[in-house]
Each structure stands twice: as structure tokens, then as C-alpha cells.
Amino acid sequence: MISVRKALASDLRGIEFLLSSAQLPTGDIERHLSTFLVADNAGEIIGVGGLESCGNGIGLLRSFVITPEFRNQGIAARILEQVSADARKLGISALYLLTTTAQDYFAKRDFTLMARDQAPAMIRQTSQYATEPRCSTAALMFRRLGDGHADYRSAAMPVLGADPVENKED
């Protein structure tokens, strides 16, 4: 049975291996490990997702990946639901993410595409946004927590003058 649980220090190497296998950055995972969740299948980490609290009610989703053989089973949705609940408990009301491959997935979960240059200062200061080469061309997406509707104007820290880019339907 697959369980979703808080990441443990002993999970670090497995998380790094899974992220590396998916060509996702691993550089500062240990620093944020306390806000990561793992999907565990009989002791094997088959999925991961995390959160980086950026301050002022803003959070950055981090490192969401499920091993290929376990995709399309709702595991990522379970992780996202729990990460969102954890974010609310931390007082986070606006979630951002950077993605090069999962834009459609997150658009179906009420994330709105935004212009990268409209990212709040707290997001621009994260290592993912500022220094990670693999994220330099990633799409920036946003979702307000609460009612589940993406509306950057009513987030905890509104992005003044930002115009979300419309998500295209496939």
C-alpha cells in the first residue's frame, strides 16, 4: 500500500536519487527536508514533493516527481493536497512553482501561468529561481490557497501589474 508521509532524514539519499533520475535539482533539498513529503511503497520512495516557505504568506512548490511506473494513480495529487494543507498551517496563502515539464498537470489543478519577470521578490530570491540553471527557463505558475481559484490580485503578496498568461487547452 502506498502511503504519503513526512520526509525523514533517512529519506534524503532516496529523494536525491529520485530527483536526479528526473533531472530535477537536488542542491538544497536537505535544507528544506522538513517540509517535504514522500510517497512510500513498501519502503521504496516512489514520489516526492516539497515546499519552501519564502515569507510573507508566499511558498514555492519544490521537486514534485513520481516514478514513471506509478504515475497516473493520483499519488502526485495526494502529495499536492497534503503540501497545500501544510502550507496553510504555516500561514502561506499563495503558492508558486517553476516547471519545465508539468505545466499542463498544474494548470489542471488551478495554477495559472505568469510571466517570470512578474515573480514576487521572495520567489526571485530562492535558489530555484535565482541560481539553478535548470530552472532558468522554467515556466512560473501561481495558485492562491483557500478557495482553489488562481487570482494573483488577492494573494497574500499581490504581484502588482502582473498579467497571467492564459493556459492553453490541449
Residue 167 is assigned to a structural domain of this protein? no
Residue 111 is assigned to a structural domain of this protein? yes
Residue 165 is assigned to a structural domain of this protein? no
Residue 164 is assigned to a structural domain of this protein? no
Contact 24, 65 (CB under 8 A): yes
Average model confidence (pLDDT) for the chain?
A: 85
Residue 42 is assigned to a structural domain of this protein? yes
Please count the structural domains in the chain: 1
Query: The domain containing residue 32 runs over which residues?
Result: 2-154
Residue 161 is assigned to a structural domain of this protein? no
Residue 77 is assigned to a structural domain of this protein? yes
Is the pLDDT at 152 greater than 60, yes or no? no
The CATH number given to whatever domain includes residue 98 is 3.40.630.30
Give the pairing of strands 58-66 and 94-99: parallel
pLDDT (0 to 100) of residue 48: 98
SS3 per residue for 51-85: EEEEECCEEEEEEEEECHHHCCCCHHHHHHHHHHH
| Cβ density class 39-56: b for 16+ within 10 Å, e for less | bbbeeebbbbbbbbbbee
Residue 35 is assigned to a structural domain of this protein? yes
Positive or negative: CA dihedral 26, 18, 135, 56: negative
pLDDT (0 to 100) of residue 148: 42
Is the pLDDT at 114 greater than 90, yes or no? yes
* Segment 63-75 mean pLDDT: 96
Per residue in 20-66, pLDDT (tens digit) is: 999 888 888 999 999 999 999 999 999 999 999 999 999 999 999 99
